Amino acid sequence: MVKFGVAGNSNSFYDEGFTSTVQAAKWCADRGIDAFEYSFGRGVRMTDATAIEIGNAFKAYNVELTVHAPYFINFSNADPDMILKSIGYVTSSIKKVKLMGGDRVVVHPASQGKLTREEAMRLALNNFGLLRDALIDLNMQDAKVCIETMGKLGQMGTLDEVIEFVSLSDSFIPCVDFGHINAREQGILKNPLTYNTILQKLLDNLPRTKVENMHIHFSKIQYGAKGEIRHLTFADREYGPDFEPLAEALIRYSLNPYIICESDGTQAEDAIYMKSAYQALLDN
């Protein structure tokens, strides 16, 4: 079953007077939202007690929890100490999500910086291999590290690169951000066939188990010559991408991913729209 979720709390959550993530459990459940992605974007600072409290609240309302690891992770860094820090950010995120009752951690792979693409890729592959080994050493290989496609040209994380990263470990699965792909490729997702091409490439190059229940981020994103500029809402009619062609493709390929909406402030409303649109297609 496809799960539709939100990245953090939407504006409407706060407008209704709510303030804490614990309250978001019932709030999401009341609206039919299936999953909630908690962001450790600026660091893993949550106490174990808070993680357990949040996890218990969401479990009570049958809303699944995932987390996003810190944004400053960079597996293309040549400094061994910085790689150890990046590995630590991922493993710390895993510890917290497990206390929350979840098992998925979304990770931004790397920045190219001043390296050539080939140099950055070589470093990233080597360092993701070190992460793989660390997960085994720490008995964390049952966690799902969701490596994300990225939206800016200077970031590592094309679809092909993510496929290579994900192939390194049974613990790694793709996080396909269709808004990022659309932004990076200058609006490529105008044609429904492009969604088919993306999903078919994943299925051709990865075990079906990694694709069938993969992680997806979805939002409309403004872009320029260097790719992603900013996240938008579903009200946007200029940049896209549109969700319905993806829903059709997911049904066609019998896939059941987690789809986390990252709209700018309207993620709850837009996630509900996606769930409704998907169900309507399924019913037909």
Instruction: Name the least confident of 31-40, 105-114, 183-192, 269-278.
Output: 183-192
Q: How far apart are CA 132 and CA 126, in angstroms?
A: 10
Q: Is the pLDDT of residue 284 over 90?
A: no
What value does the mean pLDDT of the chain take? 97
Q: CA–CA separation, 279 vs 144, rounded Å? A: 27
Q: How many CB atoms lie within 10 A of CB 215?
A: 26
Q: Which CATH class is domain 3-283?
A: alpha beta
Position 255 scores a pLDDT of: 98
- Model confidence at 148, pLDDT cuts 50, 70, 90, reads very high
pLDDT (0 to 100) of residue 105: 98
pLDDT at 192: 80
Pairing of strands 64-68, 104-107: parallel
Closest CA to 158 of 193, 202, 203: 202
Q: Output the pLDDT for position 190.
A: 84
Residue 126 CB partners (closer than 8 Å, separation 6+): none
Give me the pLDDT at residue 214, please: 98
> Domain boundaries in the chain?
3-283
